[in-house]
Every structure is written in structure tokens, then in C-alpha cells.
């Protein structure tokens, strides 16, 4: 069984690493601002003094950190993963970052004789805890086959969607759909409750029809229960929509509703909501309508 390095044990990474430990993998992480939880410690995660040391000890190194600059630092900064790599190892980045920069990172890792996969995930904290994540993978068939047993311990829908960077492109598309769907649910909830309807009953009725979705199930409930602790922070979803809008500009395509949704996230941030769950986009709509869903 291959040894796993896991860098990024936050809201998403901690349960993902926990599933690997439960499956019998030896898992290493590095000293960081987020120390391992008591649960991970009790499961036997091993904490080393640097990312370089993690790469030296592991056969497969997984990273899941907030944004492109953090991936760059983890991989190529002083004492980073690249310094500890030797030929034949596999690096898997499960962060959601720039598809363009992903290709640059992959080329650098491959030049060291190692494999590289971009494998961002969807499903949020709930999916991470349930090991039901969707994993969108870019890279070679060979590297994907090697990583599949590891992916299957963390997710249920694992797909090789194309070459290097295509996993990240797919994740950006996913984030467009998620953001616009949450925004649509927010509009529906504001409309229905302003008209006097009970939001819990509205959601229950809609869950039985064509409007039904996992997003309505989870985030519709968050909106009327006012449970806006993340989940997935607005500032991170803003980062993903920035990638979408930058990509659209370079491709010469228009994403008008993505741009509008980003502006609504900006309203939330302007009101202190950068760290709110992304379902709190409803609060921007509430401010504009002078009406609170409850």
C-alpha cells in the first residue's frame, strides 16, 4: 500500500485524510498553521517538520489549499514538496485553482520525473465527511489508474475528464453552476416569503418537482434556518468565479449571469460576509429587497 502525503487538513482536507487513514494508508502531513485535529491524531496521522519531508516520506503527495499562490508555495517554496521529490512519485493537487497555472506546475513536477494530476472536488464539507465527493481529474491514464484506489476512498464519482488542466476547467464550470443555482434559490426564497409563504414548506414542495436539487436541499434549508457558518466560504467561491470570468475574457465568451452573481457576492463581502457560507448570497438579495427570509 502506497504511503500518502497530505498537505491541507482544513475543512475539506481533514475528513479526506481521515478516510485514507481509516482505509489503512500511512498518511503524513507537515507542521502548518492548522494542526491535525484530535480525531486525525487518534487515527495515526504522522506530522513531519516540512513539506519537503512529507514528499520524501510519501509515494503520493496530495495538496488541497485555498488558491493558486498557496499551491505554488506548497510545491515550489523553500522547503516545499518539489525539494523532496524523487523520480516515480505522484503529486495530486485537489485544490481549485487556475487551469493555466496548473499546466505550469505540472510541467515543473514532470521535469523531476514524477506524475501530476489536477483533481479538484465538489461536494463541500458534507461530501468530504461522507466520502461522497465528485472528483474531476486531469492528467494521464497511467497516473489516473494509479490514483484511483486513493480517490475511491474519498469520493464516489471519480472521472478522468481530460489532460492536464482539464480537471480544473471542469471545476470552474461546476462552480458557475453551483453559484448561479444558489442565487436562483435565494431569489425564489425572497420572492416566496415576501408573498407570505413559509420557506420550509416551499422548499419541501419544490424538492418534489423539477426544481429539486442537492443545492436546494442543503442551501435552501440554510437560508431559512440562517445557518451561514461555512461550508464553503464566499471568498473562496469568489476566487472560483474570478477564474471563470478571467477565462471567459481570454476565450472571448460572455458569462453575464456569472458576473451578476459575483457582484452579489461582493455585496456580502462589503457587509462583512467574506467568511459566510456561500448560501448567504441570499443576504445580498435580502438587503436589496429589504426583506429577510425566515
What does pLDDT average to over the chain?
Answer: 96
Closest to 282 in 3D by CA, of 205, 199, 174, 209:
199
- For residue 97, the 8-state DSSP code is -
Residues 102, 110: Cα–Cα separation, whole Å: 12
pLDDT tens column, 205-219: 999 999 999 999 999
Q: What is the pTM of this model?
A: 0.90
Helices (H) and strands (E) in the chain, counts: 15, 9
Q: For 50-92, write each residue's pLDDT tens digit.
A: 999 999 999 999 999 999 999 999 999 999 999 999 999 999 9
The model's pLDDT over 35-52, given as tens digits with 9 standing for 90+, comes to: 888 899 999 999 999 999
**Catalytic center residues:** 171
Rg (alpha carbons) of the chain, rounded to whole number: 20
Cross-strand bridge partners of residue 122: 134
Gap between the Cα atoms of 194 and 78, Å rounded: 55
Q: How far apart are CA 130 and CA 81, in angstroms?
A: 28
Question: Per residue in 249-293, pLDDT tens?
Answer: 999 999 999 999 999 999 999 999 999 999 999 999 999 999 999
Q: In Å, what is the CA distance from 83 to each residue of 32, 58, 78?
A: 17, 13, 8
The Cα 4–Cα 149 span in angstroms is 12
Answer whether 179's CB lies under 8 Å from 258's CB. Answer: yes
pLDDT above 70 coverage of the chain, percent: 100
Do residues 151 and 60 lie in contact, with contact meaning Cβ atoms separated by under 8 Å?
no
Show the CA angle centred on residue 238, arms to residues 233 and 241, nearest 5°: 130
Neighbours of 72 (CB within 10 A): 18
Backbone angles phi, psi at 90, to 5 degrees: -125, 125
Find residue 48's DSSP bridge partners: 30
Amino acid at each position: 500500500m502506497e504511503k500518502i502525503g497530505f498537505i491541507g487538513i482544513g475543512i475539506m482536507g481533514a475528513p479526506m485524510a481521515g478516510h485514507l487513514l481509516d482505509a489503512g494508508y500511512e498518511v503524513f502531513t507537515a507542521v502548518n498553521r492548522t494542526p491535525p485535529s484530535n480525531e486525525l491524531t487518534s487515527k495515526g496521522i504522522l506530522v513531519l517538520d516540512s513539506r519537503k519531508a512529507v514528499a520524501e516520506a510519501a509515494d503520493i503527495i496530495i495538496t488541497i489549499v485555498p488558491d493558486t499562490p498557496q499551491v505554488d508555495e506548497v510545491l515550489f517554496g523553500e522547503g516545499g514538496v518539489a525539494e523532496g521529490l524523487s523520480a516515480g512519485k505522484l503529486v495530486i493537487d485537489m485544490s481549485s485553482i487556475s487551469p493555466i497555472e496548473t499546466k505550469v506546475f505540472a510541467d515543473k513536477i514532470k521535469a523531476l520525473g514524477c506524475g501530476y494530476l489536477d483533481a479538484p472536488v465538489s461536494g463541500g464539507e458534507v461530501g468530504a465527511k461522507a466520502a461522497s465527493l465528485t472528483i474531476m481529474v486531469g492528467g494521464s491514464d497511467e497516473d489516473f489508474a494509479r490514483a484511483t484506489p486513493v480517490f475511491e476512498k474519498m469520493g464516489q464519482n471519480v472521472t478522468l475528464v481530460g489532460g492536464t488542466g482539464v480537471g480544473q476547467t471542469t471545476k470552474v464550470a461546476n462552480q458557475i453552476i453551483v453559484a448561479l443555482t444558489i442565487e436562483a434559490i435565494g431569489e425564489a426564497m425572497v420572492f416566496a416569503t415576501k408573498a407570505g409563504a413559509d420557506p420550509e414548506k416551499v422548499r419541501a414542495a419544490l424538492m418534489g418537482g423539477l426544481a429539486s436539487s442537492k443545492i436546494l436541499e442543503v442551501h435552501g434549508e440554510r437560508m431559512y434556518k440562517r445557518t451561514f457558518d461555512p461550508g464553503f466560504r464566499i471568498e473562496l467561491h469568489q476566487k472560483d468565479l474570478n477564474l471563470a470570468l478571467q477565462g471567459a475574457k481570454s476565450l472571448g465568451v460572455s458569462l453575464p449571469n456569472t458576473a451578476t452573481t459575483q457582484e452579489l457576492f461582493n455585496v456580502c463581502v462589503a457587509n462583512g460576509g467574506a467568511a459566510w457560507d456561500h448560501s448567504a448570497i441570499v443576504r445580498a438579495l435580502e438587503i436589496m429587497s429589504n426583506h429577510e427570509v425566515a
